Amino acid sequence: MNSDLPNFGPAPTKTGTLLADHTDTVRQIIAKLRAAQRVLIATHEHPDGDAIGSSLALLHALGLQGKHATCYIPDAAPEYLRFLPGFAKLTTTKPDVAIYDLVIVVDCTKLFRAHLEDEVRAHPNSIVIDHHYDNDQGGTINLVLPEAAAVAQILTTMFIDTGVDINRDMATCLLTGIFTDTGSFMHDSTTPEILELASDLMGKGARLSHIAHETYQKKNLPSLRIWGEALSRAMVSKETEVAVSFITYDDLRQHDANLEDLSGVVNLLNTLPNTKFALLLTEYEPGKIKGSLRSEPHKEIDVSKIAKRLGGGGHKLASGFELDGHLVQRSGKWRIEKSNQ
């Protein structure tokens, strides 16, 4: 990112061929990063480990180069990611995009999910870095690699291939993004190349055991109680072979829980035998419902197609969508009702 960075060349063996067909795009990105002095980094609403980890890794990298960078998220980051270096620098205050030389949007399938669509499309220098196949590619430069397991994988590879030094803080953020988006290395996206990158990041100071504890193992009482509520309602449809559960806004209030406390529930539902996929519906705010979908390779169900029909998107095995309405139970059956019903 500074003037003495080497030119981007062929990807070294250790990082594989992820960027081999995108050298021109990466050169353009590096040139933009070198030239910019004020950079806005943005990601999607309800940000996850990859969104926050990738954003903060960029924030650290730019800061080390003496650049002024702002990390914007449309709504608050999950508390379980508070251990990440730089977490306190995240802001939910909507920025004046026009004052920045460069805008970078990471892990955001559709620009409207960053709550900055018009501003980003109007900006003369914007970069989109993502790994969702249905990304709308609204940047002036777009690096969208559906074959990547996480944006953090793309950034780690790019940093290594362009000679950017990765310090401990950056390594922790990047490994968190990779670890969470591969389902703690249990998803089918976990490749030998991913594990080599993880090893490199651990060698630079990232502590995998600490990341695993903070993101998956540590649970508070509200989280345990809302998990119990969700699991007690789990059911499997004999007709569709779908595992499903429901959480209402009243449930969240009763247990003093929030959306992030349910992280991982849909993955557990997906382990039920003789099911094609899992669905968790959560009314996280009055009249706002989030749907989370999960499947597995051997089930041969592309849940992103389901999510897309409902206005969402994501990956073949992990997708989501949002709906307006309320979750209600009538005569023993759950349904979504509009506010005026």
pLDDT at 15 over 70: no
Residue 90 lies in a domain: yes
The number of folded domains in the chain is 2
Task: Assess whether 194 and 263 both reside in one domain.
Answer: no
Choose one of 215, 238, 258: the last residue of a domain.
215
Which region among 107-121, 280-294, 303-317 has the lowest average model confidence (pLDDT)?
303-317
Residue 8 lies in a domain: no
Range of 319's domain? 221-337
Tens-digit pLDDT profile for residues 191-232: 999 999 999 999 999 999 999 999 988 889 999 999 999 999
Q: How confident is the model at residue 9 (pLDDT cuts 50, 70, 90)?
A: very low
Task: Assess whether 19 and 67 both reside in one domain.
Answer: yes
CATH, residue 175: 3.90.1640.10
What is the structure's pLDDT at 187?
85
What is the structure's pLDDT at 19?
94
CATH, residue 258: 3.10.310.30
Residue 272 lies in a domain: yes
In Å, the largest CA–CA distance within the chain is 69
Residue 30 lies in a domain: yes
pLDDT at 258 over 60: yes
Q: Is 324 exposed, middle or buried (0-12, 13-18, 19+ CB in 10 A)?
A: exposed
| Residue that is written with structure tokens 């067909």 in the block | 21
What is the structure's pLDDT at 314?
85
> HSE (CB half, 13 Å, CA atoms) of 239?
0
- Contact between 325 and 287 (Cβ < 8 Å): yes
Q: How confident is the model at residue 339 (pLDDT cuts 50, 70, 90)?
A: low
Residue 7 lies in a domain: no
Task: Assess whether 40 and 163 both reside in one domain.
Answer: yes
Residue 5 lies in a domain: no
Q: How confident is the model at residue 283 (pLDDT cuts 50, 70, 90)?
A: very high
Which long-range contacts (C-beta less than 8 Å, at least 24 apart) are formed by 228-232? 229/255, 230/262, 230/265, 230/280, 231/265, 231/268
Q: How confident is the model at residue 127 (pLDDT cuts 50, 70, 90)?
A: very high
**Alpha-carbon gap, residue 18 to 12, rounded angstroms:** 10
**Alpha-carbon gap, residue 217 to 102, rounded angstroms:** 37
Residue 308 lies in a domain: yes
H-run or E-run covering 119: helix 117-122
The mean of the pLDDT values for the chain is 92
Q: How confident is the model at residue 269 (pLDDT cuts 50, 70, 90)?
A: very high
What is the structure's pLDDT at 340?
60
Task: Assess whether 246 and 211 both reside in one domain.
Answer: no
Task: Assess whether 233 and 202 both reside in one domain.
Answer: no
0.95 exceeded by pTM:
no
pLDDT at 172 over 90: yes
Task: Assess whether 197 and 275 both reside in one domain.
Answer: no
Helix axis angle, 151-161 to 168-181, nearest 10°: 140
Q: What is the mean pLDDT of residues 102-123?
A: 96
Q: What is the mean pLDDT of residues 273-282?
A: 96
Tens-digit pLDDT profile for residues 130-158: 999 889 999 999 999 999 999 999 999 99
Q: How confident is the model at residue 186 (pLDDT cuts 50, 70, 90)?
A: confident
Task: Assess whether 237 and 180 both reside in one domain.
Answer: no
Residue 94 lies in a domain: yes
Task: Assess whether 257 and 165 both reside in one domain.
Answer: no
Task: Assess whether 58 and 169 both reside in one domain.
Answer: yes
Task: Assess whether 172 and 311 both reside in one domain.
Answer: no
Task: Assess whether 166 and 46 both reside in one domain.
Answer: yes
Q: How confident is the model at residue 16 (pLDDT cuts 50, 70, 90)?
A: low
pLDDT at 13 over 70: no
**Alpha-carbon gap, residue 161 to 17, rounded angstroms:** 11
Task: Assess whether 186 and 43 both reside in one domain.
Answer: yes
pLDDT at 4 over 50: no
Choose one of 175, 198, 215: the last residue of a domain.
215
Choose one of 190, 215, 240: the last residue of a domain.
215
What is the structure's pLDDT at 11?
39
